[in-house]
Amino acid sequence: MSKNKSLFCGLIVGGIIGGIATLLATPSSGKEMRGQLTINRKMLEDTIQQLKAESIALKNQIVITAKESSGVVKEVSTDLKRTINQFQKEIEPHKKDLQKEIEEVELKIKQLEKTLQ
């Protein structure tokens, strides 16, 4: 219990000494200090209000950008699907021709194997 009492007394004495040292070390009078604190508080409030307004504007811009980008992504995906389908339709006849040629080559290889045996 005595340790807590000593700690408490030390905190109080230290707080008093710190307060007195601050008052003596302050280069301006109490009125001037209060005036400066008021000015600084107003500047801080203005800065906070400005940050709040800018953060709201940023949030709104992000929402707008997200909506616009989702539309662009949909358009691009639709165009890509259309292009792939068109490509598949264009290569279909060539694919069939290539399959025929492969079958012919396989047939000729088989005939050549028979001839060589």
Q: What is the pLDDT of residues 42-83, one digit of tens each?
A: 999 999 999 999 999 999 999 999 888 888 888 888 999 999
Same domain, 41 and 63: yes
pLDDT confidence of residue 56:
93
In the chain, the number of structural domains is 2
Q: Is the residue at 10 inside a domain? A: no
Position 1 pLDDT exceeds 70: no
Vertex 98 angle, CA 97 and 103, to 5°? 100
Same domain, 112 and 81: yes
Q: Is the residue at 22 inside a domain? A: no
Confidence tier at 33 by pLDDT (50, 70, 90): confident
pLDDT confidence of residue 2:
67
Flag the least confident range among 16-25, 43-52, 104-113. Answer: 16-25
Structure tokens at 103: 């079958």
Percentage of residues of the chain with pLDDT beyond 70: 94
Same domain, 64 and 88: no
Q: Is the residue at 112 inside a domain? A: yes
pLDDT confidence of residue 88:
85
Q: Domain containing 90: what range?
A: 77-116
Same domain, 65 and 82: no
Q: Is the residue at 53 inside a domain? A: yes
pLDDT confidence of residue 112:
85
Q: Is the residue at 25 inside a domain? A: no
Largest interatomic CA distance in the chain: 118
Classify the phi-psi angles of 14: left when phi > 0, otherwise alpha if psi is within -120 to 50, otherwise beta: alpha
Mean pLDDT of the chain: 85
Question: CA–CA separation, 27 vs 21, rounded Å?
Answer: 12
Same domain, 64 and 81: no
Question: CA–CA separation, 64 vs 58, rounded Å?
Answer: 10
pLDDT confidence of residue 91:
84
pLDDT confidence of residue 69:
87
The separation between CA 103 and the C-alpha centre of its own chain, rounded to angstroms, equals 55
Q: Is the residue at 15 inside a domain? A: no
Q: What is the DSSP letter of 28?
A: S
